[in-house]
Amino acid sequence: MAKFDIIAATGCPTGIAHTFMAKEALEKAAAERGLTIKVETHGQVGVENELTKSEIAGAKAVVVAADKDVQAERFAGKPMVSVGVSKALSVEAAGKLIDHALAAKSDGTVAAAADVEDEVEEKESIGHVIYKHLMNGVSHMLVFVVAGGVLTAVSFLWGITSFDSTASDYNSFAAMLKIIGGIAMNLMVPVLSAYIAESIGKRPALVPGFVAGMIAIQGLPVNAETGMIDAGGAGVGFGFLGGIVGGFLAGYVILLLEKVFAGLPKNLDGLKAIFLYPLFSTAIVGLVMLGISGPMAAINTAMMDFLKGLSASGAVVLGLAIGCMCAFDMGGPVNKAAYVTGTAMLTEALAAGVGTDTYNFGTNFMAAVSAACIVPPLITTFAVVVGKKYFSQEDHDAGVVNLILGCTHITEGAIPFMTKNIWPVMPIMMLGSSIASILTIMFNVHDPAPHGGFLVLPVVENGPLWVLAILIGAVVGGILFVAFKKYDFEKNQKAAPVAKPVEAPKAAAVEAPKAEAVDFVEVENVFVAEDFASRDEALSFVSNQAVKAGIASDADAVMNAFLAREAEGTTGMMEGFAIPHAKSDAITEAAVIVVKDESGVTGWDTMDGAPVNVAIALLIPGAQAGTTHLKILSKVAEALMDEDFRATVKGSTDAAEIAKTINARLV
């Protein structure tokens, strides 16, 4: 059996894109470090590349990057880091996770299970733990929603009332599809509740979780004549929110019962699993759920009224809210919140029946959500085709692929474009999605299918107008994206040095190359193995080294210049880089000092929140503030857009190689 240095498990709520993006990033990061790795994925088709017990036992460390339950308890006793899947979508981020996992026990010994749990708790915030449990339920629920929603929608192809045997357009096959789809949709809340509970309390929590979900959709039955609780009466369900509450309740009740029954003899473990846990947990959870059914129903009604109130405020208000949420994080928590809300409202719409106000609002809301999710990847497709020269070949190829992803309702393809330039790309995506959502609402589009993109067009009411709304949003966003890339491209072109006009051609032929060949980075000014406690400590080190190297005359003046620049706005960039720069009369010659800290400098505000590993510090004499300063700064910034440049500078420990790489980009 093969052994691996690192084992990992990835999973996202939908299991469509993030799961496999994280897998690829981890594999590339491990390869860069000369490590072997096996990544287990938890996608919608189930667990793939499953880790065996011997592989787990033989691994040095574990990385869990998931927003759903991946049975991390299997890894107890191993050095481990556990984060959300979005924290492992780039090679750099994945590399840091691997480094942290390996450093969890630097002496190579196996950590005690308690130690590992403590470490994971430090890595995982309470918010992420709650989100992970919730998304475990959502990921299992979505397949029921998609299957049931699409089958129900397909039944409408024979007519809006084709399932009704008293209607003129009745069709028995359509009626059967409607029945099957309805059953699948009705399982949505119980499955959501059960798998939230399972994520918390494991398998014993499934029983109370399912019961809680069923109570959530049925409510507390009351006899209409007596007004008293009656098993034969009818109740008011409290739906999706009730399923969430019930799932968490069931999971934590199981954890409580585990502590209560912990003192029982070991030979009664079987009795606990098959009798005590299901009996007591179902009774407790059931009574609590029935007890809170009234308040929960009121909350559920209030939430729906609020959303309908937004609609009453006009298509612009509701569409703007939907569009901004869906495009904010491209398949992340905010996007999922909008999508899950849409599916919950669609479920109520289909249950209410065609022609009702609930149906019209729910299907219109779902159409707006779908439009907002489809637009971002199509924006990138438009941009790379129309503005091809402003994009790298890699980005162009990814943008073309996004045409397929966008048309099938997969938003995540736009993530790499946004992470490279969060500002202004994120607002551009949000604007494009909002336009599509607003127009979808205004065009009175109704989508009875929760997923599928343009594949479900045959069942979408006013489908051509829906496509038009999406295309308008994509084109507007695409034009703005191209405009930004054009501006960025031309700015970098202008910043590039122009050949010097000379008065004496012969002299220029000899001397011009010498002038352009000035090395701003000297080998002795590259420090590759530093360890800084903070940003200010790193800047102080650079200031003192500048004086030692004869670049500056006063370290305090240089330090003050650095801090003054940071006060104007952080020089922290992305992916572990910073470009601090000081302009001061105390600096005698323009130079660049490079410092590297493999562990990362904390406290330095960066665009992606990551610590700084490489600081390329620019030191400029006051008299050259508007000339040499701008030239060097623009060239360094341009170089940081180059993946090969970043990889070389970040990965090398050879001062000469780093100096040569940077100098080559400053000529």
Distances (CA, A) of 621 to 379, 434, 571, 581, 617: 44, 48, 19, 11, 13
Q: Determine contact, residues 308/361, Cβ cutoff 8 Å.
A: yes
CA count, 13 A, side-chain hemisphere, 260: 11
Q: How many CB atoms lie within 10 A of CB 460?
A: 24
Query: How far apart, in whole angstroms, are the C-alpha atoms of residue 352 and residue 390?
Result: 50
Q: Determine contact, residues 381/465, Cβ cutoff 8 Å.
A: no
Give the residue from 3, 105, 107 showing the smallest Cα distance to 51: 3
Q: Determine contact, residues 135/67, Cβ cutoff 8 Å.
A: yes
603: left (phi > 0), else alpha (psi -120 to 50), else beta? left
**Active-site residue, selected from the candidate residues 12, 324, 326, 373:** 12
Give, as one character, the DSSP assignment of residue 263. T
For every residue of 638-651, DSSP letters joined together read HHTT-HHHHHHHHH
**Active-site residue, selected from the candidate residues 18, 396, 446, 581:** 581
Query: How far apart, in whole angstroms, are the C-alpha atoms of residue 126 and residue 383?
Result: 39
12 tagged catalytic: yes
581 tagged catalytic: yes
Query: How far apart, in whole angstroms, are the C-alpha atoms of residue 559 and residue 544?
Result: 9
Please classify residue 35 by burial: count the beta carbons closer than 10 Å to its beta carbon, then call 0-12 exposed, 13-18 middle and 19+ buried: middle
Query: How far apart, in whole angstroms, are the C-alpha atoms of residue 428 and residue 434?
Result: 10
CA 195-200-201 angle, to 5 degrees, is: 95
Query: How far apart, in whole angstroms, are the C-alpha atoms of residue 302 and residue 591?
Result: 63
- Dihedral sign for Cα atoms in the order 364, 366, 369, 372: negative
Residues that are catalytic? 12, 581
